Structure 1
Amino acid sequence: MNTNLNVTNSNVQTNRDIIYNRAKIWQIALFVLNNTATNVTMVLMGFYAFFTQNVLGLSAIIVGTIATTMRIWDAVTDPIIGFLLDKTNTKFGKFRPFMLIGNIIMFLSIFAIFHTPLDYSVAQKYNYTTIWYVIFIIGYTFQTCVTKGAQAALTNDPGQRPIFSLFDSIYNAILFSLATFIITTVMAPKYPKKLIDPDLWKDVSLMFMIVSFVLTILAIIGIWQKDRTEFFGLGKNNVKIKFKDYIDILKNNRPIQMLTIAASTDKLALVAVRAGMVYFFANILLNSSLQGKYSLYATVPTLLASFVGVGWARKVGIKKAFVVSTWISLLMLFLLIATAPILAKPTWGTSVLILLILMALQSAAASLAGNIVIPMIADCSDYETYRTGRFIPGMMGTLFSFVDKVISSFSTFIVGAAIAWAGYGNTKIVPNTPVNNKMTLAIYFIIWGLPIIGHIASIIAMKFYILDAQMMEKIKKAIHERKQVGSEA
């Protein structure tokens, strides 16, 4: 019979023989804002190519090459900064300095990019924006590595970790639904040159980064009480770690291996789908404007899936929730492929509506699986503590990010290759005009075929992912017993 017993320290709770480090709901709700704060910056940097080309007058090809290079730089910085995070333990904590310093770096760099002097020469503009982009990536990695790493200290209760995904889904739905709307619909019309007005981007960058900074401060408050050595793994910070420990983790931590395979293949597909959906609405449904409405309405089932799915994950375990939601999404994808030739008829209003509903339901199931990946990284970090005694959440999270970014970076190449195969590699694809049958197949492959491949890889990987609810209970108990021995020694 399971019993819950409150003890003197309100931060912990016993379950059978395990003492869980539990967080208050408000602490989880606030800490999740760390991820939202960095997503605010990514919304802005999503306009980097548009700003540099249409406001600064730079070449789209060169800017695209710079952006791709920065993604590689982003991956390279991950393991380095993750290692530094695990080596850090100050009076201000392990995680809070990285959150604050990272956001300040991003604040300065984004402000600088969107305030690039217009009287600079073309070469100066390239150099100026690229240097600040490099600096931005450093700050971004500083703060994002905490999102994945600090969860292991925030709570180790398997019933609480999925709550992160719930708040994250809500915050991101609000952010991504409103951010572009505010920039393009609310603010841009107020400026003489609309979206290409330099003053617009100066004001947008300042406003958004103030929001990001405030969210970071709230997230720091959320992790404040848990950013202490007693909540780090075995409750001590004297475990020696070396950079070469990454090799040992890659070789011997099977859960992070399998989770990385599962998440990165799904991420590759997700990035490709975002690009492919533009062609789906513009060249199959022949209605580009419909995509914005669909994206808005599709957030409803996504949020509902998060509410229901997270509550279910707290009962059955994160692994099972990930596998089942992936299976649901996979079956829905096969259903979409089977029905698309019948339903994807621009002149059939009802059939298109049915198709979009099916797509929204599939997306909701896929998003649930994607959203609970971050709590699973915390489980992998606990497994590393169980396996070696090392508390290295920074290295675990950034190792995951490094592989994830490298694999998902191939999505752009795959999309380009599919379009080239269809015969449109060097042809302008006019919106709201039909395309040939090969291009139709290429679009279907991008938006549905790639996710199927990613889901199959995920399901196979999860066969070798041992961190189910029972194993996590065993790990938490073992860590607790070792902490007790250490405290008595």
Structure 2
Amino acid sequence: MLVLATIASYFSIYMTDTVGISAAAAAGIMFVATLWDAINDPVMGTIADRTNTKWGRYRPYFLFVPIIFVIASVLLFINPTGIDGIGKVIYIGGLYILLNMCTTALTMPQMAVLPAVTKNDRERNSVITLGAAFTAIAFTIGSTFTPQLTEFFGGSYIPLMVIYGIITIFCFWGLFVTSKEKYITTSEKSPFTKDLKKLFKHKEIYPLILVWCLAAVGYGFMFASSVYFMMYYIGRPDLISLYMGIISIGALFSMVVCMPIALKIFKTGQRAMLVTQFITFVFYGIAFIFGDNLIVLYVCSFIATAIGAMSNALVNILVNDTIDFIYLKEKTSLNGTIASLKGFAQKCGNTITNSGILALLAVSGYIPGAIGQQPDATMFTLNFVRFGIPAIICLVIVICMKYYPLEKYRSEIDKMKNGSID
């Protein structure tokens, strides 16, 4: 997350303002890369479900993939000054695709291994909550302090990628050592399309796929648009670090403090998601209307992030609900395939986020570096992508959670996990 937070918050503006790639070309890179990333998620999930080694089904990927991930992240921030515009697009685009593929090869097994380690919801939620807390800390560092850290290293992202990469490798190696896959069935030697058919024949998963996608869009728009928003809408590039700090600390507070409280009060991920997204919708709406006032902007941004950012972790509880539901119905472990389906939905959301913001800016007439000189259409777009779109997303998620399709199976799933059904 140290690597991914830096990329999520600063890669777009790095492409347009440092490498010199146009906003339209950068949007194209993000669209192609994240769309392909979404497509290969189900492939990776079904491959993981069919992996059989002496180390387990999911754990082998934690050994070698992190090394490739680190190499790609370092090369991504080497500015190819000696090649022309098309060459830069190919170079940046190719490395970004490779980095995303490595991310998929890590996150799919990572999500799949948890329900294979424990059936206990309290243990699962504890792991997800702690993981979300550390993720939020990493995101706070990556999104808030990157300008100061790159300045310390002479304006280069490369030392950061090396440091973050070493941490990444040791984290995944630690996961390899400490995890033990106990609750999985023997994988079938059958086409992966058979697993997908088992999933998609259950209409209950379709609203969940939508929520997984929208949670990624809302979270992505919040961070990816903030640098542009402060630089051009507010016209205060000197306040970027302060503002990113506010929303990053809000995200940290959300994961460390608010999410455990929400789960304790509401008991399930579904109810916690419903209430917190409605509250977030209200504060996004206030910020959209009155956000040009810095006090209102800071307060609403912090509260909305502190309440809403947990959605990115709560969806993992919904993934575990789905894994249990499919096991109840199909009597087979499809952890990797379901995790990959969530990854597919998330990557579709990332595609919308990464290419959507840049595409909307390009259409609105965005001028790189023109602080205080942006067209009115661009100014509206900046406000809309920062607060308007996330508010709409919150409202749709609230509706989906209000009619959560797996709720009626909860008692059967609990009986299954308690031993009534092996």
Moved more, 302-311 or 391-400: 302-311
CA distance in 2, matches of 1:222, 1:102: 18
Residues 279 and 443, structure 1, Cα contact 8 Å, conserved in 2: yes
The answer on 1:344 being equivalent to 2:292 is yes
CA distance in 2, matches of 1:125, 1:447: 28
The answer on 1:231 being equivalent to 2:194 is no
Residues 262 and 461, structure 1, Cα contact 8 Å, conserved in 2: yes
Residues 75 and 401, structure 1, Cα contact 8 Å, conserved in 2: yes
The answer on 1:270 being equivalent to 2:222 is no
- 1:257 is aligned to 206
The answer on 1:212 being equivalent to 2:168 is yes
CA shift, 1:357, in A, is: 0.8
The answer on 1:72 being equivalent to 2:32 is no
CA shift, 1:448, in A, is: 2.5
CA shift, 1:92, in A, is: 0.5
The answer on 1:332 being equivalent to 2:283 is yes
CA shift, 1:243, in A, is: 1.4
CA distance in 2, matches of 1:420, 1:60: 6
The structure whose RCO (Cα within 8 Å, separation 6+) is larger is 2
Moved more, 376-385 or 282-291: 282-291
- CA, structure 1 residues 73+445, in 2 after alignment: closer, same or farther (shift >3 Å)? same
- 2:395 is aligned to 456
3-state SS, counterpart of residue 89 of structure 1: coil
Q: Partner letter of residue 101 of structure 2?
A: I
- 2:260 is aligned to 310
Residues 250 and 306, structure 2, Cα contact 8 Å, conserved in 1: yes
3-state SS, counterpart of residue 236 of structure 2: coil
Aligned residues with identical type, % of pairs: 18
Q: Partner letter of residue 220 of structure 1?
A: F
- 1:33 is aligned to none
The answer on 1:221 being equivalent to 2:184 is no
Gaps of 5+ in 1: 1-35, 346-351, 484-489
CA shift, 1:327, in A, is: 1.5
- 1:19 is aligned to none
2:73 equivalent among 102, 110, 116? 110
3-state SS, counterpart of residue 76 of structure 1: helix
Residues 269 and 446, structure 1, Cα contact 8 Å, conserved in 2: no
CA shift, 1:150, in A, is: 1.6
1:84 equivalent among 47, 61, 64? 47
Q: TM-score, normalised by structure 2?
A: 0.84
- CA, structure 1 residues 129+294, in 2 after alignment: closer, same or farther (shift >3 Å)? closer
3-state SS, counterpart of residue 119 of structure 2: coil
CA shift, 1:103, in A, is: 1.0
RMSD: 3.5
Residues 214 and 393, structure 2, Cα contact 8 Å, conserved in 1: yes
CA shift, 1:142, in A, is: 1.0
The answer on 1:360 being equivalent to 2:360 is no
3-state SS, counterpart of residue 77 of structure 1: helix
CA shift, 1:379, in A, is: 1.4
Q: Partner letter of residue 389 of structure 2?
A: L
CA shift, 1:460, in A, is: 2.3
CA distance in 1, matches of 2:298, 2:132: 21
- CA, structure 1 residues 409+448, in 2 after alignment: closer, same or farther (shift >3 Å)? same
- 2:414 is aligned to 476
Q: How many residues align?
A: 419
Residues 328 and 365, structure 1, Cα contact 8 Å, conserved in 2: yes
Q: Partner letter of residue 43 of structure 1?
A: T
- CA, structure 1 residues 408+457, in 2 after alignment: closer, same or farther (shift >3 Å)? farther
CA shift, 1:279, in A, is: 4.5
Q: Quick check: which one's helix share is greater?
A: 2
3-state SS, counterpart of residue 404 of structure 2: coil
Q: Partner letter of residue 207 of structure 1?
A: I
Q: Matches of residues 141-156 of structure 1 in structure 2 within 5 Å? A: 141-156=104-119
Residues 246 and 395, structure 1, Cα contact 8 Å, conserved in 2: yes
Moved more, 294-303 or 40-49: 40-49
- CA, structure 1 residues 92+369, in 2 after alignment: closer, same or farther (shift >3 Å)? same
CA shift, 1:238, in A, is: 4.8
- 1:295 is aligned to 244
Q: Matches of residues 33-72 of structure 1 in structure 2 within 5 Å? A: 36=1, 39-40=2-3, 43=6, 65-72=28-35
Q: Partner letter of residue 262 of structure 1?
A: V
Residues 160 and 314, structure 1, Cα contact 8 Å, conserved in 2: no
3-state SS, counterpart of residue 320 of structure 1: helix
Deviations for 1:263-292, whole angstroms, at most 9, x for unmatched residues? Answer: 312322333343443454334433232232
Deviations for 1:151-206, whole angstroms, at most 9, x for unmatched residues? Answer: 2123332223332343233223322332366654245445xxx32xxxx4554433
CA shift, 1:47, in A, is: 6.1
- CA, structure 1 residues 432+363, in 2 after alignment: closer, same or farther (shift >3 Å)? farther
Deviations for 1:429-479, whole angstroms, at most 9, x for unmatched residues? Answer: 72256864x5554334322321232122212222442334x7434213225
CA distance in 2, matches of 1:142, 1:293: 34
Deviations for 1:315-352, whole angstroms, at most 9, x for unmatched residues? Answer: 521111111111211232334445x1xx634xxxxxx3
Moved more, 204-213 or 108-117: 108-117
CA shift, 1:79, in A, is: 1.0
CA distance in 1, matches of 2:195, 2:54: 27
- 2:384 is aligned to 445
Deviations for 1:33-52, whole angstroms, at most 9, x for unmatched residues? Answer: xxx4xx53563687666777
- 1:3 is aligned to none
Larger Rg: 1
Moved more, 207-216 or 273-282: 273-282
- CA, structure 1 residues 173+439, in 2 after alignment: closer, same or farther (shift >3 Å)? same
Deviations for 1:343-368, whole angstroms, at most 9, x for unmatched residues? Answer: 634xxxxxx32442122111221112
Q: Partner letter of residue 430 of structure 1?
A: A
Residues 365 and 375, structure 2, Cα contact 8 Å, conserved in 1: no
- 1:169 is aligned to 132
Residues 265 and 408, structure 1, Cα contact 8 Å, conserved in 2: no
- 1:381 is aligned to 323
3-state SS, counterpart of residue 333 of structure 1: helix
Residues 233 and 383, structure 2, Cα contact 8 Å, conserved in 1: no
- CA, structure 1 residues 399+167, in 2 after alignment: closer, same or farther (shift >3 Å)? same
- CA, structure 1 residues 66+435, in 2 after alignment: closer, same or farther (shift >3 Å)? closer
